[in-house]
Chains A and B, each alone.
Chain A
Protein backbone atom coordinates (compact mmCIF):
# COMPACT_ATOMS: atom_id res chain seq x y z
CA UNK A 1 0.00 0.00 0.00
CA UNK A 2 1.49 3.34 -1.05
CA UNK A 3 -1.02 5.89 0.16
CA UNK A 4 0.65 9.24 -0.46
CA UNK A 5 3.04 10.94 -2.82
CA UNK A 6 5.91 11.19 -0.31
CA UNK A 7 5.85 7.48 0.37
CA UNK A 8 5.62 6.78 -3.34
CA UNK A 9 8.66 8.98 -4.02
CA UNK A 10 10.60 7.34 -1.20
CA UNK A 11 9.76 3.91 -2.58
CA UNK A 12 10.85 5.02 -6.06
CA UNK A 13 14.15 6.32 -4.67
CA UNK A 14 14.84 2.94 -3.05
CA UNK A 15 13.65 1.12 -6.16
CA UNK A 16 16.27 2.95 -8.21
CA UNK A 17 18.95 1.99 -5.69
CA UNK A 18 17.80 -1.63 -5.64
CA UNK A 19 17.27 -1.50 -1.88
CA UNK A 20 13.48 -1.94 -1.78
CA UNK A 21 12.24 -5.13 -0.12
CA UNK A 22 10.79 -7.84 -2.36
CA UNK A 23 7.29 -7.20 -1.05
CA UNK A 24 7.46 -3.40 -1.46
CA UNK A 25 9.02 -3.83 -4.87
CA UNK A 26 6.08 -5.92 -6.02
CA UNK A 27 3.61 -3.37 -4.66
CA UNK A 28 5.46 -0.53 -6.38
CA UNK A 29 5.65 -2.35 -9.69
CA UNK A 30 1.90 -2.91 -9.58
CA UNK A 31 1.43 0.79 -8.90
CA UNK A 32 3.81 1.73 -11.73
CA UNK A 33 1.91 -0.50 -14.13
CA UNK A 34 -1.36 1.24 -13.27
CA UNK A 35 -0.29 4.83 -12.57
CA UNK A 36 1.14 7.05 -15.32
CA UNK A 37 2.12 9.76 -12.83
CA UNK A 38 4.16 7.26 -10.83
CA UNK A 39 5.94 6.17 -14.02
CA UNK A 40 6.74 9.78 -14.81
CA UNK A 41 8.13 10.27 -11.31
CA UNK A 42 10.34 7.20 -11.72
CA UNK A 43 11.58 8.52 -15.04
CA UNK A 44 12.39 11.93 -13.48
CA UNK A 45 14.44 10.34 -10.71
CA UNK A 46 16.20 8.01 -13.13
CA UNK A 47 17.19 10.96 -15.32
CA UNK A 48 18.35 12.93 -12.27
CA UNK A 49 20.59 10.04 -11.18
CA UNK A 50 22.07 9.78 -14.67
CA UNK A 51 22.82 13.50 -14.69
CA UNK A 52 24.28 13.44 -11.19
CA UNK A 53 26.57 10.54 -12.10
CA UNK A 54 27.56 12.18 -15.40
CA UNK A 55 28.23 15.51 -13.71
CA UNK A 56 30.18 13.95 -10.88
CA UNK A 57 32.81 12.17 -12.95
CA UNK A 58 36.14 13.54 -11.92
CA UNK A 59 39.30 13.66 -13.90
CA UNK A 60 41.52 15.26 -11.32
CA UNK A 61 45.10 16.00 -12.38
CA UNK A 62 46.50 13.62 -9.80
CA UNK A 63 49.14 10.95 -10.19
CA UNK A 64 47.63 8.40 -7.84
CA UNK A 65 50.65 6.07 -7.93
CA UNK A 66 52.91 8.87 -6.83
CA UNK A 67 50.48 9.95 -4.15
CA UNK A 68 50.30 6.38 -2.78
CA UNK A 69 54.12 6.16 -2.80
CA UNK A 70 54.32 9.47 -0.94
CA UNK A 71 51.89 8.27 1.74
CA UNK A 72 53.77 4.97 1.98
CA UNK A 73 57.04 6.85 2.61
CA UNK A 74 55.36 8.82 5.38
CA UNK A 75 54.02 5.63 6.93
CA UNK A 76 57.59 4.29 6.88
CA UNK A 77 58.57 7.16 9.15
CA UNK A 78 55.85 6.16 11.62
CA UNK A 79 56.52 3.52 14.27
CA UNK A 80 55.16 0.10 13.33
CA UNK A 81 52.18 -1.16 15.28
CA UNK A 82 52.98 -3.68 17.94
CA UNK A 83 50.75 -6.75 17.69
CA UNK A 84 47.66 -6.05 19.80
CA UNK A 85 44.49 -8.03 20.46
CA UNK A 86 43.01 -7.22 17.04
CA UNK A 87 46.18 -8.04 15.14
CA UNK A 88 45.42 -11.73 14.78
CA UNK A 89 41.90 -13.17 14.51
CA UNK A 90 42.59 -15.71 17.27
CA UNK A 91 43.77 -12.96 19.57
CA UNK A 92 40.47 -11.14 19.20
CA UNK A 93 39.26 -13.76 21.69
CA UNK A 94 41.29 -11.91 24.29
CA UNK A 95 38.87 -9.02 24.00
CA UNK A 96 35.95 -11.32 24.86
CA UNK A 97 37.82 -12.95 27.72
CA UNK A 98 38.54 -9.50 29.14
CA UNK A 99 34.89 -8.46 28.74
CA UNK A 100 33.72 -11.69 30.39
CA UNK A 101 36.13 -11.16 33.30
CA UNK A 102 34.81 -7.61 33.81
CA UNK A 103 31.19 -8.83 33.70
CA UNK A 104 31.94 -11.65 36.17
CA UNK A 105 33.63 -9.17 38.51
CA UNK A 106 30.61 -6.88 38.42
CA UNK A 107 28.23 -9.78 39.17
CA UNK A 108 30.39 -10.91 42.11
CA UNK A 109 30.64 -7.40 43.52
CA UNK A 110 26.86 -6.92 43.30
CA UNK A 111 26.27 -10.35 44.88
CA UNK A 112 28.61 -9.67 47.78
CA UNK A 113 27.11 -6.23 48.25
CA UNK A 114 23.58 -7.60 48.38
CA UNK A 115 24.63 -10.24 50.87
CA UNK A 116 25.68 -7.58 53.34
CA UNK A 117 22.72 -5.28 52.84
CA UNK A 118 20.41 -5.72 55.85
CA UNK A 119 17.12 -7.23 54.77
CA UNK A 120 14.00 -5.94 56.52
CA UNK A 121 11.03 -8.13 57.26
CA UNK A 122 8.69 -8.77 54.35
CA UNK A 123 5.45 -10.65 53.98
CA UNK A 124 7.24 -13.75 52.77
CA UNK A 125 10.23 -13.38 55.10
CA UNK A 126 8.68 -12.67 58.51
CA UNK A 127 11.12 -11.75 61.23
CA UNK A 128 10.61 -12.54 64.83
CA UNK A 129 12.39 -13.19 68.10
CA UNK A 130 12.38 -16.15 70.38
CA UNK A 131 13.16 -16.32 74.05
CA UNK A 132 14.43 -19.60 75.33
CA UNK A 133 14.32 -20.15 79.03
CA UNK A 134 15.87 -23.20 80.46
CA UNK A 135 16.88 -25.89 80.57
CA UNK A 136 14.58 -26.75 83.42
CA UNK A 137 13.15 -30.00 84.54
CA UNK A 138 9.43 -30.11 84.09
CA UNK A 139 7.26 -32.73 85.59
CA UNK A 140 4.81 -34.39 83.33
CA UNK A 141 1.78 -36.05 84.69
CA UNK A 142 0.38 -37.39 81.45
CA UNK A 143 0.84 -37.88 77.72
CA UNK A 144 1.87 -35.05 75.42
CA UNK A 145 2.24 -34.19 71.73
CA UNK A 146 5.03 -32.70 69.78
CA UNK A 147 3.92 -31.51 66.37
CA UNK A 148 6.34 -30.60 63.64
CA UNK A 149 4.81 -29.31 60.47
CA UNK A 150 6.60 -28.25 57.32
CA UNK A 151 4.90 -26.56 54.41
CA UNK A 152 4.03 -23.33 52.68
CA UNK A 153 3.67 -20.11 54.56
CA UNK A 154 0.24 -18.99 55.58
CA UNK A 155 0.26 -16.41 52.82
CA UNK A 156 0.83 -19.06 50.19
CA UNK A 157 -1.74 -21.37 51.65
CA UNK A 158 -4.28 -18.57 51.71
CA UNK A 159 -3.66 -18.03 48.03
CA UNK A 160 -4.57 -21.66 47.46
CA UNK A 161 -1.23 -22.85 46.16
CA UNK A 162 -1.56 -26.50 45.31
CA UNK A 163 0.69 -28.81 47.27
CA UNK A 164 2.35 -29.94 44.05
CA UNK A 165 3.69 -26.42 43.67
CA UNK A 166 4.95 -26.16 47.19
CA UNK A 167 8.45 -27.30 46.29
CA UNK A 168 8.68 -24.54 43.69
CA UNK A 169 7.19 -22.05 46.08
CA UNK A 170 9.71 -22.97 48.73
CA UNK A 171 12.47 -22.02 46.36
CA UNK A 172 11.31 -18.43 46.39
CA UNK A 173 9.43 -18.18 49.69
CA UNK A 174 10.51 -19.07 53.14
CA UNK A 175 9.09 -22.46 54.11
CA UNK A 176 7.13 -22.62 57.24
CA UNK A 177 8.49 -24.92 59.93
CA UNK A 178 6.42 -25.05 63.06
CA UNK A 179 7.36 -27.01 66.14
CA UNK A 180 4.79 -27.00 68.86
CA UNK A 181 4.45 -28.93 72.05
CA UNK A 182 1.39 -29.62 74.04
CA UNK A 183 0.67 -31.54 77.19
CA UNK A 184 -2.53 -32.75 75.62
CA UNK A 185 -2.53 -36.08 73.82
CA UNK A 186 -3.14 -36.08 70.08
CA UNK A 187 -6.81 -35.87 69.27
CA UNK A 188 -7.29 -35.09 65.54
CA UNK A 189 -6.59 -37.28 62.55
CA UNK A 190 -4.17 -34.71 61.16
CA UNK A 191 -2.07 -34.59 64.27
CA UNK A 192 0.49 -37.22 63.66
CA UNK A 193 3.28 -38.23 65.92
CA UNK A 194 6.75 -38.69 64.49
Chain B
Protein backbone atom coordinates (compact mmCIF):
# COMPACT_ATOMS: atom_id res chain seq x y z
CA UNK B 1 0.00 0.00 0.00
CA UNK B 2 1.39 3.40 -0.98
CA UNK B 3 2.61 5.81 1.70
CA UNK B 4 0.03 8.39 0.61
CA UNK B 5 -2.83 5.94 1.23
CA UNK B 6 -1.49 5.08 4.69
CA UNK B 7 -1.14 8.76 5.56
CA UNK B 8 -4.73 9.45 4.45
CA UNK B 9 -6.02 6.50 6.42
CA UNK B 10 -4.20 7.69 9.51
CA UNK B 11 -5.69 11.14 9.03
CA UNK B 12 -9.12 9.52 8.75
CA UNK B 13 -8.62 8.17 12.27
CA UNK B 14 -7.14 4.74 11.49
CA UNK B 15 -4.14 4.54 13.84
CA UNK B 16 -3.06 1.10 12.64
CA UNK B 17 -2.23 2.59 9.24
CA UNK B 18 0.48 4.62 10.96
CA UNK B 19 1.93 1.40 12.44
CA UNK B 20 2.56 0.27 8.89
CA UNK B 21 4.50 3.46 8.19
CA UNK B 22 6.54 2.90 11.36
CA UNK B 23 7.42 -0.65 10.29
CA UNK B 24 8.35 0.60 6.85
CA UNK B 25 10.66 3.45 7.86
CA UNK B 26 11.97 2.70 11.34
CA UNK B 27 15.17 1.04 10.07
CA UNK B 28 16.37 3.84 7.77
CA UNK B 29 15.27 6.41 10.36
CA UNK B 30 17.24 4.71 13.14
CA UNK B 31 20.23 4.28 10.84
CA UNK B 32 20.23 8.00 9.94
CA UNK B 33 19.92 9.03 13.59
CA UNK B 34 22.62 6.57 14.60
CA UNK B 35 25.01 7.86 11.94
CA UNK B 36 24.45 11.40 13.17
CA UNK B 37 24.61 10.61 16.86
CA UNK B 38 26.93 7.61 17.13
CA UNK B 39 24.92 5.91 19.88
CA UNK B 40 22.09 3.48 19.37
CA UNK B 41 20.15 4.47 22.50
CA UNK B 42 20.26 8.14 21.46
CA UNK B 43 19.17 7.13 17.97
CA UNK B 44 16.18 5.19 19.36
CA UNK B 45 15.16 8.11 21.54
CA UNK B 46 15.31 10.54 18.63
CA UNK B 47 13.45 8.28 16.21
CA UNK B 48 10.71 7.61 18.73
CA UNK B 49 10.33 11.36 19.22
CA UNK B 50 10.38 11.92 15.45
CA UNK B 51 7.67 9.31 14.86
CA UNK B 52 5.42 10.80 17.53
CA UNK B 53 6.03 14.27 16.17
CA UNK B 54 5.23 13.12 12.65
CA UNK B 55 2.00 11.47 13.86
CA UNK B 56 0.90 14.63 15.67
CA UNK B 57 1.64 16.95 12.76
CA UNK B 58 0.61 14.59 9.96
CA UNK B 59 -2.21 16.95 9.03
CA UNK B 60 0.32 19.61 8.05
CA UNK B 61 1.99 17.33 5.48
CA UNK B 62 1.14 18.91 2.12
CA UNK B 63 1.90 15.85 -0.02
CA UNK B 64 1.03 12.58 1.75
CA UNK B 65 3.17 10.69 -0.79
CA UNK B 66 6.23 12.55 0.49
CA UNK B 67 5.96 11.03 3.98
CA UNK B 68 9.32 9.22 3.89
CA UNK B 69 11.35 12.31 2.99
CA UNK B 70 9.41 14.37 5.51
CA UNK B 71 10.06 11.85 8.29
CA UNK B 72 13.77 11.74 7.45
CA UNK B 73 13.85 15.51 7.64
CA UNK B 74 12.32 15.41 11.13
CA UNK B 75 14.78 12.69 12.18
CA UNK B 76 17.80 14.57 10.87
CA UNK B 77 16.70 17.91 12.34
CA UNK B 78 16.05 16.38 15.76
CA UNK B 79 19.36 14.49 15.60
CA UNK B 80 21.33 17.58 14.67
CA UNK B 81 19.66 19.62 17.42
CA UNK B 82 20.35 16.83 19.91
CA UNK B 83 23.94 16.67 18.77
CA UNK B 84 24.43 20.43 19.03
CA UNK B 85 22.94 20.39 22.53
CA UNK B 86 25.21 17.55 23.50
CA UNK B 87 28.21 19.40 22.10
CA UNK B 88 27.41 22.41 24.22
CA UNK B 89 27.34 20.24 27.35
CA UNK B 90 30.55 18.40 26.54
CA UNK B 91 32.31 17.87 23.27
CA UNK B 92 31.72 14.48 21.68
CA UNK B 93 34.71 12.37 22.73
CA UNK B 94 36.56 10.53 20.01
CA UNK B 95 36.41 7.18 21.77
CA UNK B 96 32.63 7.55 21.85
CA UNK B 97 32.69 7.30 18.08
CA UNK B 98 35.23 4.52 18.10
CA UNK B 99 33.35 2.47 20.70
CA UNK B 100 30.20 2.54 18.65
CA UNK B 101 32.19 1.20 15.72
CA UNK B 102 31.80 -2.12 17.49
CA UNK B 103 28.22 -2.11 16.28
CA UNK B 104 29.31 -2.24 12.64
CA UNK B 105 29.30 -5.66 11.13
CA UNK B 106 29.86 -6.08 7.43
CA UNK B 107 28.70 -9.66 7.73
CA UNK B 108 25.31 -8.66 9.13
CA UNK B 109 22.78 -11.39 8.55
CA UNK B 110 25.36 -13.83 7.21
CA UNK B 111 25.67 -17.33 8.60
CA UNK B 112 29.42 -17.76 8.28
CA UNK B 113 31.42 -14.97 9.91
CA UNK B 114 35.03 -14.46 8.94
CA UNK B 115 36.63 -12.70 11.97
CA UNK B 116 39.22 -11.03 9.77
CA UNK B 117 36.56 -9.52 7.54
CA UNK B 118 34.52 -8.47 10.57
CA UNK B 119 37.55 -6.67 12.00
CA UNK B 120 38.23 -5.07 8.64
CA UNK B 121 34.63 -3.95 8.38
CA UNK B 122 34.73 -2.46 11.87
CA UNK B 123 37.89 -0.56 11.06
CA UNK B 124 36.36 0.70 7.82
CA UNK B 125 33.14 1.65 9.60
CA UNK B 126 35.05 3.66 12.19
CA UNK B 127 37.08 5.46 9.52
CA UNK B 128 33.98 6.18 7.50
CA UNK B 129 32.23 7.61 10.52
CA UNK B 130 35.10 9.98 11.19
CA UNK B 131 35.32 10.95 7.53
CA UNK B 132 31.58 11.66 7.40
CA UNK B 133 31.97 13.96 10.37
CA UNK B 134 34.41 16.02 8.32
CA UNK B 135 31.86 16.69 5.60
CA UNK B 136 29.64 19.77 5.54
CA UNK B 137 26.13 18.97 6.79
CA UNK B 138 24.40 18.85 3.39
CA UNK B 139 27.03 16.61 1.83
CA UNK B 140 26.92 14.28 4.82
CA UNK B 141 23.13 14.04 4.66
CA UNK B 142 23.18 13.42 0.91
CA UNK B 143 25.78 10.64 1.23
CA UNK B 144 24.02 9.09 4.21
CA UNK B 145 20.54 9.07 2.74
CA UNK B 146 21.39 8.34 -0.87
CA UNK B 147 24.57 6.24 -0.88
CA UNK B 148 24.30 4.53 2.49
CA UNK B 149 20.56 4.19 3.06
CA UNK B 150 19.93 4.01 -0.69
CA UNK B 151 16.80 6.13 -0.57
CA UNK B 152 15.56 7.41 -3.95
CA UNK B 153 16.93 10.84 -4.85
CA UNK B 154 13.43 12.32 -4.76
CA UNK B 155 13.00 11.27 -1.11
CA UNK B 156 16.44 12.59 -0.28
CA UNK B 157 15.51 15.90 -1.92
CA UNK B 158 12.33 16.04 0.18
CA UNK B 159 14.27 15.23 3.33
CA UNK B 160 16.84 17.90 2.58
CA UNK B 161 14.32 20.44 1.27
CA UNK B 162 16.21 20.94 -1.96
CA UNK B 163 15.98 19.93 -5.60
CA UNK B 164 17.03 16.55 -7.02
CA UNK B 165 19.78 18.37 -8.93
CA UNK B 166 21.11 19.78 -5.67
CA UNK B 167 21.12 16.25 -4.18
CA UNK B 168 23.22 15.02 -7.12
CA UNK B 169 25.64 17.88 -6.57
CA UNK B 170 25.92 17.30 -2.80
CA UNK B 171 26.48 13.56 -3.37
CA UNK B 172 29.22 14.38 -5.85
CA UNK B 173 30.92 16.91 -3.60
CA UNK B 174 30.67 14.52 -0.66
CA UNK B 175 32.17 11.71 -2.71
CA UNK B 176 35.06 13.90 -3.80
CA UNK B 177 35.89 14.74 -0.19
CA UNK B 178 35.46 11.15 1.01
CA UNK B 179 37.80 9.97 -1.74
CA UNK B 180 40.43 12.29 -0.33
CA UNK B 181 39.74 11.47 3.32
CA UNK B 182 39.65 7.71 2.78
CA UNK B 183 42.38 7.46 0.15
CA UNK B 184 44.47 5.07 2.27
CA UNK B 185 41.62 2.58 2.68
CA UNK B 186 40.07 2.83 -0.77
Contacts and interface: CB of A to CB of B under 8 A. Distances in A.
Nearest to A47: B186
Given A10-B172, A56-B125, A60-B34, A83 B12 contact: yes
A58 interface: yes
A45 B180 CA distance: 11
**What's the dominant secondary structure at chain B's contact region?**
helix
Interface in B127-186: 127-128, 143, 146-148, 153, 168-169, 171-172, 175-176, 178-179, 182, 185-186
Interface stretch (A84-92, A127-135, A144-152): A84-92
A39 interface: no
B106 A87 contact: no
A56 B19 contact: no
Contacts of B19: 68, 71-72, 75
A59 B121 CA distance: 11
A86 B11 contact: yes
Contact of B56 (A19, A68, A78, A84): A78
B13 A71 contact: no
Interface residues of A, number: 42
B121 A57 contact: yes
Contacts of A14: 168, 172
Interface of A: 9-10, 13-14, 17, 19, 44-45, 47-49, 51-62, 64, 67-68, 70-72, 74-76, 78, 80-84, 86-89
Given A48-B179, A57-B104, A83-B11, 8 more contacts: A53-B148, A54-B124, A55-B128, A57-B106, A75-B52, A86-B7, A86-B64, A88-B8
Report the 6 A-B pairs with minimum CB-CB distance, sorted nearest first.
A55-B124, A59-B105, A59-B108, A55-B128, A87-B12, A13-B172
